[in-house]
Amino acid sequence: MRAVAGSLHGLVGLAPIAGLVLAWQVLLTAGWVPSALLPSPGAVLARTVASLGDPAFLGHLASTLYRLAAGFAIALAIVFALGLAGATSRIADAALRPVIRVLAPIPKIALYPALILSLGFDDAPKIILVAADALFPILLATYGGAGAVEQKLLWSARAAGTSRAGTILKVVLPATLPSILTGSRIALVVACIVVFLAEMITSTDGLGYLLVRSGRAFQTVDMFVPLLAISAVGLALDGALAAARRVLLRGFPEEE
């Protein structure tokens, strides 16, 4: 029953997307918009499918994915280290919180020129930028979650013989996991966006670079392909994370 209702809702959601594509097509067929400025949806789809068999395109996709994964992994490692420091030491916690508070609202993309200056035009500045941007959503969610761990869970574990340090691993970490995953989900989207932008600003490969290159050549059809690709990458990774979440958090109430 539920599954049927769910898929029905899913179908309803396809309507506006279909409508948008239809309106797009109508604009072109009616001749209101020249196809040089806006290619037809069919042409975009055909080019996207063709690109999937193109090794050059797949190479660009791989570069983007590599930067995404590396940056995200670095962000997670930093979250783990800072979270552990904050959880074990009151002094570290008191020192870290205001620093994070100050650094979080800074637009990290503004640091990109400085990163290029110090690290050159290769992968390194892009990976670091992804890490810097992915870091804060996870960190803030982790801190929020760790601060909200129910006192009596800690007491129950302590009474059962768990040491104070042991509760960090056995209670605080699993209790914070839902927040960490929620933060990661936001961070993943941020990471997709940032890696693309960094590649647009300075790069010789990657999806962002593809967009800029096509734009310079006024190949509007080709401009849509990397945009569709990054959207698909984001959706796929988000779906993977949601699946991981379901497995890891079987005991927790479902998040919408």
Residues 161-200 that bind other proteins (CB under 8 A): 161-162, 166, 171, 174-175, 177, 183, 186, 189-190, 192-194, 196-197, 200
Which of the stretches 21-29, 43-51, 75-83, 143-151 binds other proteins when contact is defined by CB under 8 A?
143-151
Q: Return the residue matching tokens 């979270």.
A: 83
Q: Are 109 and 194 in contact (CB under 8 A)?
A: yes
Based on the shown chain and the rule CB under 8 A, indicate whether residue 76 belongs to the binding site for other proteins. no
> 17-46: which residues touch other proteins (CB under 8 A)?
17, 20, 37-38
Which of the stretches 22-30, 69-77, 85-93, 218-226 binds other proteins when contact is defined by CB under 8 A?
218-226
Q: Are 172 and 146 in contact (CB under 8 A)?
A: yes
Q: Which residue type is seen at 47?
A: R
Q: Are 129 and 115 in contact (CB under 8 A)?
A: yes
Based on the shown chain and the rule CB under 8 A, indicate whether residue 238 belongs to the binding site for other proteins. yes
Work out which of 4, 16, 55, 90 binds other proteins, going by CB under 8 A: 16
Burial 28-41 (b: 16+ CB within 10 A, else e): beeeeeeeeebbbb
Based on the shown chain and the rule CB under 8 A, indicate whether residue 89 belongs to the binding site for other proteins. no
What is d(CA 199, CA 63) in angstroms, rounded to the nearest whole number?
A: 10
Work out which of 31, 53, 55, 107 binds other proteins, going by CB under 8 A: 107
Q: Which residues contact 59 (CB under 8 A, 6 or more apart)?
A: 205
CB 90 to other proteins: min, Å: 14
